[in-house]
Each structure stands twice: as structure tokens, then as C-alpha cells.
Amino acid sequence: MENTSQKNINNEDQSMSQDTTEKSKVILESKKANVYYGDMHAIKNVNIKMRENSVTAFIGPSGCGKSTFLRTFNRMNDYIDIFRKEGEFYINGKEIYQKDVKVEELRKTVGMVFQKPNPFPKSIYENVAFGLRIQGIKNKSVLDEAVEKSLKQAAIWDEVKDNLKKSALALSGGQQQRICIARALAVEPKVLLMDEPASALDPISTAKIEELIYQLKENYTIVIVTHNMQQAGRVSDRTAFFYIGELIEFGKTKNIFTNPKEELTERYITGRFG
């Protein structure tokens, strides 16, 4: 276990040979990323590149820092008093912790879906239109169009199109989560960060979310944190394995699951710890 820390620098490019996303642009990138919560060193020297229109899964045991790392890319950790970071984080080539970056603008580019479905206690329509409304858009036909488009993208339009005025809280958990995805899509982000989006859902709803992720990657770059290794295997192009704050291995999902380079990765994916 001790000799794993330096190996994560180059393991991205080696496994890329037959990857379809190989030549696309790098959208998310971190360089020598370190994150601290008070005295705790939550993320240790992580370098990673994620490409356009790909799905990257972050896996690893609880408390390994994968959610923390995910949240540094839309600066959701900023509200935590004891949070501190070192290194650089890039979205589309722009360092996002620089002074001239407006965090509200950043979050419009980098949408987020949370672990527990968290629709607002408003109607379905108002939930999806929220992001546009806070940008000051009042034109009804623009809003109508965006709401319909987003709900269709989130594969829930057919289920709710007749009840757009109904409270989003009246829907099932799986439907609520797709409303939350539609809400995030409505502002047309480039990146979608998903923090265990299916962990609170039943298997059927989970399958729907996974199918949706597969469709969404045509237009979005997706990063998903998951505890469920089968899920990572099903939905992602690449997988990053984290362990106690370190990026142990990162590569094509197929390779990570069939032929991991690190013993630690192998032990984790075969269920010997975690």
C-alpha cells in the first residue's frame, strides 16, 4: 500500500489507445490538487484529465474523498469554513479558483445532481425553470421551451407533461431525481457532476437514471461518484479509483475492471475491502 502514491501521474494516457473519446478536448482537469478539511488531508496530490462527452466514474470506499473532489469542480466546498485547497482546477482550460471567476457563473457551466433528490417545494415547471428565472429570464415561451426540452432530455417528459403545475414533491424518488437532472440541464451546462445520483433510489429508478446518463453524454461531460461498482462499469467510459484521498488508478473502465494495474484496485473491485 505504501508504494502507490507516486504512480498516479501517468496512468491516464497509457490505457487510451482504443478509446472513442481519445481525441476530444480536455474539459475538466486538476493539477497537483490537494484538499484539506481543517487538519484532515482529504485529497492528496491528484492529477486528472477528463474529456468532453465522456462519463467518468469516481469509485472508492466511503470517506476516500471522491465526493469532496467532485465538489471542488463547482466550488461547492466554498461554504465549508474549514475547507482549504492547493493546486489548480480547470474547467475548459480556465482555472476556476482565480479571482476573476464568478462562482455563480461557474455553477451555470458545471451543473450538479445530488445524492438525495432535492427538488424545491414548488411545481415541476418552476423547479425546471428555476435556473433560467434566477438569470432574469421572464419570457414565457422561452421558459416553456426550455422546460419541455430539459424534461425530454431527462427522460421524464412523458410522465409529467400533463401535470407540470403539480408539486415536484408529489413525485416518486426516481422521478424527483430526474426532475433534478432536468433542472440542472435547463441552464445548458457543459459539465454535469453527479454525486451518487442513484444511491437513494430503487433498482428500476436506478436503471432509468443509468440509461439517462448514457444518453446525456452525447451532449455533456459527466462525472459520477458511485458506491456501486456495477454501476460504474455500466455507465462510465473511464473510472478513477480513490483510496484515502489518493487517486490510485485512472483509466478505461473496461481495463480497470478486467485488468487493474494496482493490487489495491483489484482488491477493491473484487470486494475484498471497502
Partner 1 sequence: MKIREKIIEGGLAFSALITVLTTIGIIWVLLSQSLVFFKDVSIVEFLTNPEWTPLFTNKNYGILSLLSGTILTSSIAIAVALPIGLTIAIYLSEYAPKGFRTYVKPMLEILAAVPTVVYGFFALTIVTPYLKTIFPEIAPFNALSAGIVMGIMIIPMISSLSEDALFAVPKTLRDASYGMGSTRYQTAFKVLVPAASSGIIVSIILAISRAIGETMIVAIAAGQQPNMTMNPLETVETITAYIVQVSLGDVPHGSIEYRTIFAAGLTLFIFTFILNNISFYIRRKYQERYE
Residues in touch with partner 1 (CB under 8 A): 74, 76, 79, 104-108, 111-112, 114, 116, 118-122, 130-131, 133-135, 169, 180, 183-184, 187
Q: How far is the CB of 182 from partner 1 (least distance, A)?
A: 12
Q: How far is the CB of 143 from partner 1 (least distance, A)?
A: 15
Q: How far is the CB of 200 from partner 1 (least distance, A)?
A: 11
Work out the widest C-alpha separation in the chain, in whole angstroms: 59
**Among residues 51 and 183, whose Cβ is nearest to partner 1?**
183
CB-count burial class (<10 Å; 0-12, 13-18, 19+) for 159: middle
Q: How far is the CB of 11 from partner 1 (least distance, A)?
A: 30
Q: How many CB atoms lie within 10 A of CB 147?
A: 23
87 contact partners, CB below 8 Å, separation of at least 6:
30, 31, 32, 33, 34, 45, 46
Q: How far is the CB of 117 from partner 1 (least distance, A)?
A: 9
Which triple of cell numbers denotes residue 39? 487538519
**Among residues 173 and 274, whose Cβ is nearest to partner 1?**
173
**Among residues 16 and 169, whose Cβ is nearest to partner 1?**
169
Angle at 112 between CA 86 and CA 183, to 5 degrees: 155
The number of residues making up the chain comes to 274
**Among residues 6 and 98, whose Cβ is nearest to partner 1?**
98
CA atoms of 14 and 112, how far apart (whole Å):
30
**Among residues 194 and 212, whose Cβ is nearest to partner 1?**
194
CA atoms of 108 and 122, how far apart (whole Å):
21
Strand ranges, E, within 104-220: 110-113, 191-195
**Among residues 121 and 271, whose Cβ is nearest to partner 1?**
121
Q: How far is the CB of 114 from partner 1 (least distance, A)?
A: 6
